[in-house]
Amino acid sequence: MLDFPSGLEAKLRPLVSDYKINLIQMAHLPKESRERLTSDFRLLAEYAAKQSDQRALKEWITRKDVEIQHPEEFLDTLSALTSDHRYKELAGLFQ
């Protein structure tokens, strides 16, 4: 998954561990799998799953029955995932 600069791969590859990892594509998790999540990670998974449907995303975001356990960290993560700095600015309100 790393793209080594041209001519440096032979030098850099020995410095990088070749660990096997399993990646989870949150946007493609089935609804049943998302519903089993119990932390703020569930909210991130729901956000990712609904990103392609703006109507469903807006409806979900405006729900009043969702409680974020770690709002600052949640907003920091949204900022990183979306490259939208406004989430990071909101996170600053919780400091």
Range 78-95 average pLDDT:
85
Q: For residues 21-47, b (16+ Cβ closer than 10 Å) or e, as one string?
A: eeeeebeebeeeebeeeeebebbbbbb
The token duo for 79 is 């900022």
Cα 16 from Cα 35, distance rounded (Å): 36
pTM: 0.68
Decide if 82 is inside a domain: yes
Decide if 49 is inside a domain: yes
Least confident segment among 9-13, 22-26, 62-66, 91-95: 91-95
Residue 64's pLDDT band, with cuts at 50, 70 and 90, is confident
Sign of CA dihedral 9, 11, 14, 17: negative
Decide if 4 is inside a domain: no
Decide if 51 is inside a domain: yes
Q: Report the interhelical angle of 40-50 vs 54-61 (nearest 10°).
A: 150
What is the number of domains present in the chain?
1
Cα 46 from Cα 27, distance rounded (Å): 8
Decide if 74 is inside a domain: yes
Decide if 9 is inside a domain: no
Decide if 61 is inside a domain: yes
State which residues form the domain around 37.
Answer: 24-94
| 44 within 8 A of 38, measured Cβ to Cβ | no
